[in-house]
Amino acid sequence: KQEVTQIPAALSVPEGENLVLNCSFTDSAIYNLQWFRQDPGKGLTSLLLIQSSQREQTSGRLNASLDKSSGRSTLYIAASQPGDSATYLCAAPNTGNQFYFGTGTSLTVIP
């Protein structure tokens, strides 16, 4: 079973700051790694998908990196805004396409 860990569990930053969220996983035999955002009381929204052969993927102010050999991924958020406040989750499906999640990082961006 894939074990996924996300650090930190919670993060509070002032608006405009750049920040990094961390995700580690135990099974490196993955197809890809996906980052999600979850707002309170809502479902998960896909943010970025990094293929196992890629090292980085960018979308707007978001940049995700993947190091399969060390079992790590990071999500970099540039120039944070209050609207970025949410819980961020990562998941790495194994070769059986089973998705396992960590407990996420709860981000608060203070205006």
Tell me which residues touch another protein (CB under 8 A): 1, 31-32, 34, 36, 42-46, 49, 51-52, 89, 91, 93, 97-104
Task: Name the strand (E) or helix (H) holding 48.
Answer: strand 44-51
The alpha helices in the chain, defined as continuous H runs, are: none
**CA-CA-CA-CA torsion sign (56, 17, 23, 45):** negative
Which one, 1 or 111, has the nearer CB to another protein? 1
Nearest one of 103, 81, 76, 78 to 91, comparing CA atoms: 103
Cβ 111 to another protein shortest distance, Å: 27
Cβ 84 to another protein shortest distance, Å: 19
Work out the burial of residue 28: count CB atoms within 10 Å of its CB; fewer than 13 is exposed, 13-18 middle, 19 or more buried: middle
Which one, 60 or 111, has the nearer CB to another protein? 60
Cβ 18 to another protein shortest distance, Å: 26
Which one, 15 or 39, has the nearer CB to another protein? 39
